[in-house]
Amino acid sequence: MKIKTDFLIVGSGISGLSLALNLSKQVPEEKILLITKESLHESSTFHAQGGIACVWDKTDNFEKHIHDTLIAGDGLCDENIVKAIITQAPDRIRDLIDLGVEFTRNGNGEYDLGQEGGHSQRRVLHVNDQTGKSVEQTLIDNVKKLNNVEIKEYWCAVNLYAENFKCYGAYALDQESGEIHNIAAKATILATGGAGKIYLYTTNPDIASGDGIAMAYRAGCSISNMEFFQFHPTGLYHPFAKNFLITEAMRGEGAILKDIRGNQFIEKYHPLKELAPRDVVSRAIDAELKKSGDDYVLLDIASYKSPDFIISHFPGIYEQCLKFNIDICKEPIPIVPTAHYCCGGVMTGIDGTTEVKNLYVIGESSCTGLHGANRLASNSLLEGLVNAHECSITLKNRISELKVKEFPDWEPGNAVPSTEAVIISQNWDEIRRFMWNYVGIVRTDLRLQRAKKRINLLLDEINQYYWDFKIEKNLVELRNLATVAKIIIVSAISRKESRGIHYNIDYPNKSEMSRPTILKKPW
């Protein structure tokens, strides 16, 4: 089916939903189509616990927040972008409050500001430990009220249609009917989130397969800094606990890391101890596990805070852990580091502008220069809000020059229904395992070269399968996941130093001349 719309938004997290709201206000007469490959709720935003970093308290200031962000980014942040995003934070927070987000208040009726690793003081606004869930639901409720926004759930973007660095729209698979729709738009905006499913252990939901990054790469966009994949230090360790994060805010409130024998260890690695940047804490835990042979370490808040405090501040974590017979008011939590956030992505401006005309990328799929070599805690939701706000302004200013142009329908060729779905699951599992083992928290040249050989073989196999069989969501995700995995591997090989999240034993020191990594087709 051929579909025409003014603006096509792919993704329903904080970036995509915020853009739909902002764009609807900026150009109310234009039609907006928002598609998402699962339900509207299924996004990394929904699962975000900690909060949104913002200078709010009178004792805080923009300079401090900027400084903390630059320190975490370890020399690779774009300082102008950092300033632009952080100085917008209070206005974007007020936008959410106006929409109905009720941030947690303290006993004095003021907003309760959390402390997280890398921040010099309290500045994280939150809704207990379920900030993302509250923000996501509020945005969904408001978007559903808009007359000029059409929502299609379970529509999976397959590929962009782009020629000569100009994007005309996208092909999308309707998973219910199996039909691939041809969606022509004046502008296409990718807000598809991260790529955590590339790794065996991740806090990301199953949808995070790097779709936007892979599609933009195939369309001709440059991809930057993909070697910087952030591992969160504290994922719940339990055989049945899938993708569950223990928020950094818990360490901000006094939780202590210990080995399974009860010994504290983090002070050996950084003077800030539990509040050290995430990459330091993740590597410290990884080093302790490799040294001891243990499967996990412990995060202990029960010994330092009352049950009332724990339950009131971390109700979501308390309830979730109880499902696995872990009472965090009485015992420490078993944790391991887990893949969490993609600091790199499609090279864009603050408004999502890419090298491909009429194609915009916002949120975690983008690389604006805010995060550099390591993201400061709770800056991610903030970036998504600012990207969406700026993107809507740019699109409004360009509205007179934007035109819809149709393009050819999807050509299935001789593709037949798949009878070998096991190939998809096997390749997916293999990629996630060797990415975890070879391109994880600690890397070596030998491991990276092994990963490169494996991904080249798998890409050939996956691409052949892609053209031989009819399109389904799992195949689309596998193709994208493999593409992004290779981008990460090639980027990591090219960085001959250790910086931020990227740590290579063969190059333990920082280079004096360090620049962003940039990849573009062909490899």
3-class SS string, 261-313: CCCECHHHCCCCHHHCCHHHHHHHHHHHHHHHCCCCEEEECCCCCCHHHHHHH
- For residue 329, the one-letter residue type is C
Q: Are 105 and 88 in contact (CB under 8 A)?
A: no
Joined together, the tokens standing for residue 102 give 């009720």
Q: For residue 513, count other CB atoms closer than 10 A to its CB.
A: 5
SS3 content of the chain, % helix, strand, coil (to 5): 40, 20, 40
CA distances from 148 to 184, 192, 228, 363 (A): 17, 21, 38, 23
The SS3 assignment for 229 reads strand
Q: Which of 123, 251, 278, 375 is catalytic?
A: 278
Sheet holding 52-53, edge to edge: 52-53, 124-125, 113-114
Q: Are 256 and 304 in contact (CB under 8 A)?
A: yes
Joined together, the tokens standing for residue 20 give 């739909």
Cβ neighbours of residue 177 closer than 8 Å, sequence gap 6 or more: none
- For residue 117, the one-letter residue type is G
> Distance between alpha carbon 398 and the CA centroid of its chain, in Å?
28
Q: How many residues does the chain have?
A: 523
What residue has token string 């764009």? 23
The SS3 assignment for 125 reads strand
Q: For residue 76, count other CB atoms closer than 10 A to its CB.
A: 21
In angstroms, the CA 212 to CA 221 distance is 11
Is residue 443 part of the annotated active site? The answer reads no
DSSP state string for 3-65 = EEEEEEEE--SHHHHHHHHHHHHHSTTS-EEEEESS-TT-SHHHH--S-EE---STT--HHHH
Joined together, the tokens standing for residue 109 give 């009726």
Q: For residue 180, count other CB atoms closer than 10 A to its CB.
A: 21
Nearest to 188 by CA among 214, 157, 217, 228: 157
| Residue numbers annotated as active site | 278
